[in-house]
Chain A
Amino acid sequence: MSAPAEAAALKRTPLFSLHRELGAKLIDFGGWEMPVQYSGILEEHRAVRERAGIFDVSHMGELEVRGPGAEAALQRLTPNDVSRLADGRCHYSAFLTERGTFIDDLLVYRRGAGDFLVVVNASNRAKDFAWASSSIGGDAEVQDASDAWSLLALQGPLSGSILARAAGEDPTDLPYYGFRMMRVEGFPALVSRTGYTGEDGFEIYLAPDAAEPVMRALLEMGRAEGVLPCGLGARDTLRLEAKMALYGNDIDETVTPWEADLGWIVKMQKGDFVGRDALARQKAAGVTRKLAGFEMVDRGIARHGYAAAAPHGPGVVTSGTHSPTLKIPIGLALLPAADTAVGTEFETDIRGRAAKARVAPTPFYKRKKEATP
């Protein structure tokens, strides 16, 4: 087993000492010293699927885009249709290169006219800010407000009832991808019904000094119900079961939304935006490779970067893990488009050993919606 990389000058969130106190195993995650697990990835994963879990995701970046031209600027900088966002609503979108590939994937929140929050990946924060600043144009400005925000994700079927107790109001009247300001444990918080786990859940944006008291309170309130602090390990297995893309694994500056099966975030009818021409060309020419979910036929876990050989040519595994819910190895792979039909078999190269995999229906896990009375 190899030793972890030297922990020099890693950034820490305001929750660092609480993570230590809770017995977290800490790792270098894109320059941040973050908890990968507390009690164990499988146990934390189960807690989120069956009860609830709390994640520190304060390393995420927050860009504030403001000004009379903010909506027009974001309409040009992102492929989704910002004009369809009402106040108090957010949507999934991206920053794209002129080639139509992902600079980053992100959430755009509309707080009001001329007042937007763009939530980006920690590892891309500096790149996103530089790109947005240079591309934004007049009548709007972008600020990197990441240091002013901490972020907790409360995820799982019990998250609504737990948050209701901490907020003194019912957050479950928020629609999916809706948000509003609340007080959580007395602290002002922007609460959105969003997440990265495939479960019902909330993301709670707070001032940095509020993060620890709020996380402690949520853990305390959920203790009797088995709510657990959860690390990035469980976050990864949860998002992969829900087939949510991870930047740097499944998408990056070589992959377009068509290829990533994220065409739904691209609104070609809305008018011009960065990357549109390239995406139009790619669509007209035909998309030659696509991201597909797979499960293993042979034994083994095909992981990120492992080569794939499909009937119509080579591919690559972009994510792979053991699915704690299904108890089988699952993953995502970029494959020739002709080989992405469910049931298509292909070979993966697991450290020199050929192991057969099969394209599977996705998402691998879909939560059961509550029965309507």
Chain B
Amino acid sequence: MNPEELHYTQSHEWVRIEGDIGTIGITEHAQKELGEIVYLELPEVGHLYNADDEFGTVESVKAVSELFIPISGEIIEVNRAAVAEPGIVNDDPFGDGWLIKLKVTTDDDIRKLMSADQYAEYVEAEEKQK
């Protein structure tokens, strides 16, 4: 269920790389854990981030979670549709529910991220610890 072509973080974000553009969102597992998302706080276009920086928050009725950026770069687009209708992130976290796009500054960060298989194993291990 985790798309093969994406890269994953331990904090349950994903990134899709197309040329020097990275698209970032949260995983199916993350949206399920959060429950119905009612509020997204996302950065302005032009903001610069280093990998692992906090770039926003996602709130469900019950809880707030910070979002961490998987790779360094400059924000070039924010998903306004998701900000207006955060339920999109629950419905389609890997598709229409993407959060931000950025211009990637270095390829180095990608190597530290997990593949779909590694991420699936990671989630399974995390579930067992509960």
Contact = CB atoms under 8 A, between A and B. Distances in A.
Interface of A: 1-4, 7, 25, 36-37, 40-42, 233, 236-237, 299-301, 303, 321-322, 324, 329, 351
A3 B130 contact: yes
A322 B39 contact: yes
Prevailing SS type, chain B contact patch: mixed
B34 to A, nearest CB: 7
B35 A301 contact: no
Contacts of B11: 1
Interface size class of B (residues with CB under 8 A): 20 to 34
Interface in B54-74: 57, 59-62, 64-65
A1 B35 contact: no
Contacts of A351: 57, 64
Contacts of B59: 301, 322
A299 B36 CA distance: 18
A90 B75 CA distance: 59
**9 smallest A-B Cβ distances: which pairs?**
A322-B38, A41-B61, A1-B65, A42-B36, A233-B62, A40-B36, A322-B61, A301-B59, A1-B33
Nearest to B127: A3
Contact of A299 (B30, B35, B39, B62): B39
A343 B59 CA distance: 26
A1 B30 contact: yes
Given A1-B12, A236-B62, 7 more contacts: A1-B11, A1-B65, A41-B61, A41-B62, A301-B39, A322-B39, A324-B61
18 contacts: A4-B130, A7-B130, A42-B38, A42-B61, A233-B35, A233-B61, A236-B62, A237-B61, A299-B39, A300-B39, A301-B39, A301-B64, A321-B62, A322-B38, A322-B39, A322-B59, A324-B61, A351-B57
B52 interface: no
B129 A3 contact: yes
A3 B126 contact: yes
B41 interface: yes
Contacts of A37: 35
Contact of A329 (B12, B36, B39, B62): B39
Contacts of A303: 64
Nearest to A237: B61
A299 B84 CA distance: 11
B43 to A, nearest CB: 12
Contacts of B36: 40-42
A59 B59 CA distance: 28
Specify which of A7, A40, A41, A322 lies most central, judged by the most chain B CB atoms within 10 Å of its CB.
A322
